[in-house]
Amino acid sequence: MLDRVLAKRIVPVIVLDHADSAEPLAEALLAGGLDIMEITFRTEAAEESIRRIAKRFPEILVGAGTLLENDQVARAKDAGAVFGLAPGLNPRTVAKAAEVGLQFSPGVMTPSEVEQALALGCKLLKFFPAEAAGGTAMLKSLAGPYGHTGVKFIPTGGVTSANLAEYLKLPVVAAIGGSWMVDKQLVNEGKWEEITRLTREALAAAAAAR
């Protein structure tokens, strides 16, 4: 998973109201060159959306986000998700993910949370809410004492096309999580070509930041 994340360096954070949007959205992202996506468990459509994408597009690394409960972890895995993320660090969900074989990235914001995540065996961590938590300055500070451990972060929350390069230039950042290229309104209005265009632009910006 880490190799795939490092290759693209962008994880689109998706909220789907309708499962029927899942497959055309996946096609739009693939057309833009992106083969990774995070579908958040914030709506009733999440589980079915993951199931449809996993079945039709095996080439896509599909993950489940906002996994707050053990049953969500199990349902995400059963639906075909190959990785999971959470906004915070809950040892119970980390343990459940390990039990069912789901690669999991808990959310962290402080040094104590980074240490707890490392103690639980997690080295690819979601940094959330990125901008509100200090942005790149905070990540640079965390890299000092923890960079040698091999920990990598996926900053999410307030990351946009305007500031993604600042994050991606940091060695401790594996990828960024963003939603502007898969904006909920664009998805609900079926503006697939616009999503493809924004995805291409985001990938080009990420490549330029290497």
Active site residue ranges: 38, 126
State the Cα–Cα distance between residues 85 and 5, nearest whole angstrom: 13
Torsion of CA 192, 196, 197, 201, to 10 degrees: 150
Question: By the 8 A CB rule, do 202 and 164 touch?
Answer: yes
* Cα 162–Cα 164–Cα 169 angle in degrees, nearest 5: 130
* Cα 79–Cα 39–Cα 37 angle in degrees, nearest 5: 100
Q: Which of 18, 21, 17, 53 is nearest to 37 (CA)?
A: 53
Per DSSP, 180 falls in state: G
